[in-house]
A and B are shown apart, each in its own frame.
Chain A
Amino acid sequence: DAKTTQPPSMDCAEGRAANLPCNHSTISGNEYVYWYRQIHSQGPQYIIHGLKNNETNEMASLIITEDRKSSTLILPHATLRDTAVYYCIVRVGTGTYKYIFGTGTRLKVLA
């Protein structure tokens, strides 16, 4: 599976959009981009995933560049409860959930 690169930390004001970037320049054509987050002392929680097209669900939006070498997770209206470590992962679309996690981005939402 391809590796990902994320900034180690980011701050965001409460109520504003949080835009978390991820670089996955070695991604293969059959690899999906997944985002998970981990709130302190809990297990990782699924947020969203995508292959080529932009995706949106009740939690977030995922914007994938046309060349698929990078993506951005958008939390439209960040709240204090969104403070967490966010992991960007690439995974082959079929088969196991053998994720390769990096060190993620520590997002701090400020009041």
Chain B
Amino acid sequence: DTGVSQNPRHKITKRGQNVTFRCDPISEHNRLYWYRQTLGQGPEFLTYFQNEAQLEKSRLLSDRFSAERPKGSFSTLEIQRTEQGDSAMYLCASSLPSGIEAFFGQGTRLTVV
């Protein structure tokens, strides 16, 4: 297993366009998390899945953001009508229910121009 995989690594989009990111967690990790990180700040929690169920969403996750994990495996994060303020690194992490730690992917860096 090569760890948490995120695609694409970089995305440049024009303001107003929709973008979708994908996260493939470590096999058998039933918990999956999305975080957002802006320059100079620590990651901020966005949402969390246990299997296919989205159990928690941060108030940072506006209605332009939607996350899915349809079969309890990979997850997608979609941002509609992107704004310049959405420019950030989007990080995915996964864990076992009783795991000691969460494993993070390399992130997807979004630039909205």
- Tell me whether B107 is interfacial, beta carbon within 8 Å: yes
Q: How many residues of A contact B (CB 8 A)?
A: 19
Q: Is the C-beta of B74 less than 8 angstroms from some C-beta in chain A?
A: no
**Residue pair A43, B105 in contact (C-beta under 8 Å):** yes
Q: Does A103 contact B (CB under 8 A)?
A: yes
Determine if A81 is an interface residue (Cβ-Cβ < 8 Å): no
Question: A16 to chain B: closest CB distance in Å?
Answer: 26
Given A44-B91, A97-B95, also A103-B33 (CB < 8 A): no
Q: How far is the CA of A66 from the CA of B25 in the complex (A)?
A: 37
Asked whether B33 lies within 8 Å of A43 as measured between CB atoms, the reply is: no
B67 within 8 A of A: no
How near does chain B come to A59, taking the closest CB pair, in angstroms? 12
Interface string of A72-111 (1 = CB under 8 A from B): 0000000000000101000000001111111110000000
Q: Collect the chain A residues with CB atoms within 8 Å of residue B56's CB.
A: 96, 98
Q: How far is the CB of A51 from chain B (nearest CB, A)?
A: 12
Residues of A within 8 A of B (CB): 34, 41-46, 49, 85, 87, 96-104
Please give me the 4 A-B residue pairs with the lowest Cβ-Cβ distance, nearest first: A101-B42, A43-B104, A97-B102, A46-B101
Known contacts A97-B95, A98-B33, A98-B56; A43 and B106 CB within 8 A of each other? yes
Give per-residue flags for B52-86: 1 if the beta carbon is below 8 A from chain A beta carbons, else 0.
00011000000000000000000000000000000
Contact A97 B93 (CB under 8 A): yes
Interfacial chain A residues near B28, Cβ < 8 Å: none
Q: How far is the CB of B49 from chain A (nearest CB, A)?
A: 10
- 8 pairs, A vs B, C-beta closer than 8 Å: A34-B101, A46-B101, A87-B42, A96-B31, A97-B93, A98-B48, A99-B102, A101-B42
